[in-house]
Amino acid sequence: METARFAALVAATITTGLVSGLFYGFTVAVMPGLRACGDRTVVETMQRINVAILNGWFLLGYVGALVFSGLALALQLAGDAGGGATVPLAGAFAAYLLAVVLTARVNIPLNNALAQAGPVENVADPAAVRRAFEAPWVRANTWRTVLCAVAFGLLVWALVLHGQP
């Protein structure tokens, strides 16, 4: 049981860290870099990114972070001998779950609307498509970056507590 608990905690920390880093990269580099680009470039680039990101490696991290965090929490609760890492694990799971909900409620619908605009060369008003997408997507991404960073920090804390007698 102890090996499974530790393995789930390590897997949760790694996958959450990967997703947190991905969202952070968009927050500090990708979206600020695109801000200086023309409307058609932004629309086309984000359409292409939204297609490219749907792959097994992304899904392993994105879904894995939720599954492994939940598993680590469940195993902690099942074998809890005093609460050690329970609080940070519960906080990490909750923070990551909120990031997933935010993604499902805001980022994914915005990505879908961007895809529905069609090929950028056929978009009559790329500035309007960009306006509808960019600001709300960036705001939501900033929040999910913060939530994932909090989840990652809490998982690191849980790892430290796990290693203490």
Alpha-carbon distance 13 to 7, whole Å? Answer: 10
Query: How do residues 44-102 score in pLDDT, each as one tens digit?
Result: 999 999 999 999 999 999 999 999 999 999 999 987 655 689 999 999 999 999 999 99
Query: How do residues 114-160 score in pLDDT, each as one tens digit?
Result: 999 999 999 999 999 999 999 999 999 999 999 999 999 999 999 99
DSSP-assigned letters across all residues of 71-130 = HHHHHHHHT-SS-TTHHHHHHHHHHHHHHHHHIIIIIHHHHHHHHHT--GGG-S-HHHHH
Amino acid at 118: G
Q: Please give the model's pTM, rounded to 2 decimal places.
A: 0.94
Contact 12, 92 (CB under 8 A): yes
